[in-house]
């Protein structure tokens, strides 16, 4: 029965209908409503909602090195380092374009830039207001604390 409801929800109602079908099936199966949460494409979770932080000392050595380079103003290994990060995922706090900049955290076994990044925000790139670490290519962020 639920499989048929799910197919109808996806096929005819789009993603909004699918969310309702998912919520209905959770109620039928006895799950609490707090468990069934969909991320809105317009209002994604914010870093403050996740409340995830990482101490500078807990970053991988390459991450600590990158943070030091950021405060020194470089030099950076990759051309993309120091370029504007658009925050298209809308996970970081909303700021004007140009506020965030991205930097590559080298992964020793990777030939390419890999997935690890430090994203810093502020008006002056070498004196950021806040920096965030991601090891999953922008799917999640943790605020770096001293």
The per-residue pLDDT string of the chain (146 residues; one tens digit each, 9 = 90 and over) reads 444 444 444 444 453 444 434 443 443 334 333 222 233 344 444 444 445 999 999 999 999 999 999 999 999 999 999 999 999 999 999 999 999 999 999 999 888 999 999 999 999 999 999 999 999 999 999 999 98
- For residue 14, what pLDDT is reported? 52
Listed in sequence order, the residues at least 6 apart from 69 whose beta carbon sits closer than 8 Å to its beta carbon are: 75, 76, 103
> Looking at the domain 47-145, which fold is it?
Nuclear Transport Factor 2; Chain: A, (3.10.450)
Among 66, 92, 101, 102, which one carries the catalytic annotation?
A: 102
Among 7, 39, 95, 137, which one carries the catalytic annotation?
A: 137
Q: Burial level of 70, CB count in 10 A (0-12/13-18/19+)?
A: buried
Q: Where are the domains of the chain?
A: 1-38, 47-145
Confirm whether 110 is a catalytic residue.
no
- For residue 144, what pLDDT is reported? 97
Confirm whether 137 is a catalytic residue.
yes
Task: Answer for the pair 67, 59: CB distance below 8 angstroms, yes or no.
Answer: yes
Q: How far is CA 12 from the centre of its chain?
A: 31
CA distance 106 to 85: 18
What is this structure's pTM?
Answer: 0.66
Residue pointed to by tokens 């670490």: 133
């Amino acid at each position: 029965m639920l499989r048929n409801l799910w197919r109808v929800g996806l096929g005819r109602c789009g993603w909004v209908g699918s969310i309702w079908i998912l919520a209905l099936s959770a109620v039928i199966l006895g799950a609490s409503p707090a468990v069934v949460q969909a991320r809105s494409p317009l209002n994604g979770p914010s870093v403050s909602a996740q409340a995830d932080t990482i101490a500078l000392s807990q970053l991988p050595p390459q991450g600590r090195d990158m943070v030091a380079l950021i405060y020194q103003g470089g030099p950076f290994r990759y051309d993309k380092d120091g370029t504007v990060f658009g925050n298209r995922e809308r996970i970081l706090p909303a700021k004007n374009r140009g506020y965030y900049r991205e930097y590559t955290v080298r992964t020793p076994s990777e030939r390419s830039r890999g997935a690890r990044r430090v994203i810093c925000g502020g008006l002056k790139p070498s004196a950021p207001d806040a920096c965030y670490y991601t090891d999953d290519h922008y799917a999640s962020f943790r605020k770096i604390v001293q």
